[in-house]
Chain A
Amino acid sequence: MEPLDGNAIAGALYDVYGAEMTTATGRCTVCGAMDQIAELRVYVRAPGMVARCRSCDSVVFVLVEVRGTTHMHDPCFELMP
């Protein structure tokens, strides 16, 4: 399954944050790498959307649409202000 990148989940992230997020940066808490959201490795139909760190491939966050609302779970991602 070929991954896409954070551009593919820009719409879903807009649903969560109410803003354009692809240029935002976050830190992968597993390996410490700084990842721009647009450059994350993303599996878009996983069934949810799974974003992985480009350096260590750990799952940094997961987006799941439940009954019309997109939920963000970010176990290993620290969004930079």
Chain B
Amino acid sequence: MSPISRGFLGRRRPVADPSRVPPGQYVTADFPVLSAGPTPHTPLDQWSFTIQGAVDKSASWPWPEFLALPTETVTVDIHCVTKWSKLDTNWKGVSLDTLLAGVDTAAGYLTAFSDGGYTTNLALEDVTDGKAWVAYEYGGEPLEPEHGGPARLLVPHLYFWKSAKWVRGLTLTLQDEPGFWETYGYHNHGDPWLEQRYQGD
């Protein structure tokens, strides 16, 4: 056990309601930026969101059509595997229920894919019934590139590496296919309440 550094607190904030904080997490007022690569800058006139893979017919929305879809505004807590949690974050975006509504599929899984090559895998049941969005506004403002703008996946009930930044679509799959971090030792599911950070947890 390391010796205690006298007076060191880090960025953490005390929490009014500890039941909102998953095990091993610390609440922060910041919004740390984590990235595995350079920030992509896809011009909006070249952007589209696509649902493809194990589907009868793939669906694709260019930016103006995407913005025209019904939106939801949600306030959620988010939890990063690096141990910071941020409470009451406010997002606006399109529910995955809306995006998947017209999609005919036997798939049970999906791989979200992003500009820059990032991927993450999810079970369909983890992104349906009001559990996930493609968000393009944060805190009432357009989502900044360093936080995943123009649009990112938002799946707040799982560790935030599953909320793929710069998301461009979903590939529906019959088998579960590990994405980037899942391949490199992070947990396949990632439930913060079960502290599923790494494979074997």
Contacts and interface: CB of A to CB of B under 8 A. Distances in A.
Contact of B37 (A57, A66, A71, A73): A57
A43 B198 contact: no
Interface in A56-80: 57, 59, 62, 64, 66-67, 71, 73
Instruction: Say what secondary structure dominates the interface of chain B.
Output: loop
Contacts of A71: 184-185
Interface in A5-59: 43, 45-48, 50, 52, 57, 59
B185 A66 contact: yes
Interface residues of B, number: 21
A45 B84 CA distance: 13
Interface in B78-112: 80-82
B184 A73 contact: yes
Interface in B42-72: none
A46 B185 contact: no
A46 B199 CA distance: 17
A18 B117 CA distance: 32
B193 interface: no
B146 interface: yes
B161 interface: yes
Interface string B16-35: 00000000000000001111
CB-based closest 10 A-B pairs: A1-B35, A46-B36, A50-B36, A64-B185, A66-B198, A62-B184, A47-B82, A73-B184, A45-B34, A47-B81
Given A64-B185, A71-B184, 18 more contacts: A1-B34, A1-B38, A1-B39, A3-B38, A43-B35, A43-B37, A45-B34, A45-B82, A47-B81, A48-B36, A48-B185, A48-B186, A50-B37, A64-B186, A66-B185, A66-B198, A66-B199, A71-B185
Interface of B: 32-39, 80-82, 117, 146, 161, 181, 183-186, 198-199
